[in-house]
Structure 1
Amino acid sequence: MAKTLTLKNLPDALHARLSAAAKRHRRSLNNEAIVCLEAGLEAEIPSVDEELARIRALRESLGPHIFDPDEIDAFKREGRP
């Protein structure tokens, strides 16, 4: 069963963006808000294990690199006057 949601204190800029999107998509303001909520809530949020696996794979793809102290100092000073 459908429920009703009332939004309070909606910033003017956000209302304007939502209204413009509704006009662009030829939807009512209400339907545009529903579509935006559905799109935002349907986005898959990775689990901690999935995110850690992605990070590990990225680290492995970069390969090992050991910085020596002089190299670290050079990086810190790079771009400084």
Structure 2
Amino acid sequence: MASLTVKNIPDELYDRLKTSAALHRRSINSELLIYLERALLPSNATPEQHLDKARELRQQVRTDRLLSEADITDAKNDGRQ
């Protein structure tokens, strides 16, 4: 495999990459590879495959923990005080 050195990364960009890596429990190098793959190797999934994945994810949502419209309104109003 090839190696790559990236120079002159702006501090803000590096900080965001570092934070993202920590959130995903990956090294900075692994996180950067994930971003490069997503940007340069687009998915060949069909729209139907994307919809199937969305339906699968939707079924995993716990409906007993969904917020009501009133809950959302209350949270917005609390944040405005």
Question: How high is the TM-score relative to the length of structure 2?
Answer: 0.50
Aligned ranges for residues 36-47 of structure 1 at < 5 Å? 36-43=35-42
Deviations 1:12-50 (A, max 9, x none): 000000000000000000000000000011237xxxxxx
1:7 equivalent in alignment to 2:1 = no
The structure having more radius of gyration, on CA atoms, is: 1
| RMSD over equivalenced CA pairs, Å | 1.1
Q: Secondary structure at the match of 2:32?
A: helix
Instruction: Give 4+ residue runs of structure 1 displaced > 2 Å after superposition.
Output: none
- Matched ranges for 1:1-81 at <5 A: 2-43=1-42
Number of positions where the alignment pairs a residue of Structure 1 with one of Structure 2: 43
Q: Unaligned stretches of 5+ in structure 2?
A: 44-81
For 2:42 and 2:34, how far apart are their aligned partners in 1? 13
TM-score for the superposition, normalised by structure 1: 0.50
For 2:35, the aligned partner's letter is C
Identity %: 44
Q: Which residue of 2 aligns with 1:64?
A: none
